[in-house]
Amino acid sequence: MEATLYEAWRLTLRHLAPEHARRWLYLLAHDARRWQKVSPMMVWPSRDVERMFPDDLVHRLQALLASPMAARDVVVLNSYFGECYRARLDAVLQLVAIPGKAGQYDVRLALMEGFICIVPGKLALLCNHEGGVALWENRHQAA
C-alpha cells in the first residue's frame, strides 16, 4: 500500500478505532490478502467514535456532496476486492432519491464493503455488503 494511503488509515484508526489500530495497521502494511477480510461490521460501533449512526446521516452526506469536499480526493479501502486507492468523494458516494418516498434517499457507494476515509482521523464512512452504512466522526480530537 502506498505510504500516503497508509498514513491516512493510520490516523483514522488511531483516533477512531484505537482498539483495532495496531492489528489492522500491521495487516494493512502487508499484501491485500492479509487485510482483505477486515470487515467494517467488526468495528461499528467503536467506543471511541463520538457519533456513529447520526439521525441526520443523509443530511450530513448531502451537505458534504454540496460542499467543496465533494471534489476532494478521499482514501477508499475496498476490503471486498482488496484495493486501496484515492478517488473523488462525489465519485464514490451518491445519494439516490427513493421512488415514491418524498425526501428519502438511498446511500450508494462505489464499493461493496469497506471504508472511505474522508478526513483522516476525523471522518470516515463505512459500508457493508448488506447495505449498512455507518459514519465515524470525531469532532474534538485532533488528527
- pLDDT tens-digit profile of 34-54? 888 777 776 665 555 544 555
pLDDT at res. 20: 83
- Nearest Cα neighbor of 25 from 51, 45, 52, 1 is 1
pLDDT confidence band for 67 (50 / 70 / 90): very high
pTM: predicted TM-score of the whole model, two decimal places: 0.82
Summary mean pLDDT of the chain: 83
Sequence-ordered list of residues with C-beta below 8 angstroms from that of 140, at least 6 positions apart, any chain: 50
φ/ψ (deg, to 5) at 122? -125, -40
Is 141 in contact with 128 (CB distance < 8 Å)? no
Give the pairing of strands 114-119 and 105-109: unpaired
pLDDT at res. 41: 73
pLDDT at res. 132: 78
Q: Tell me the one-letter amino acid at 8.
A: A
More confident residue, 137 or 139: 137
Q: Across residues 6-27, what is the average pLDDT?
A: 88
Condensed to tens digits (0 to 9), the pLDDT of residues 78-118 reads 988 989 999 999 999 988 888 888 877 778 888 888 999 99
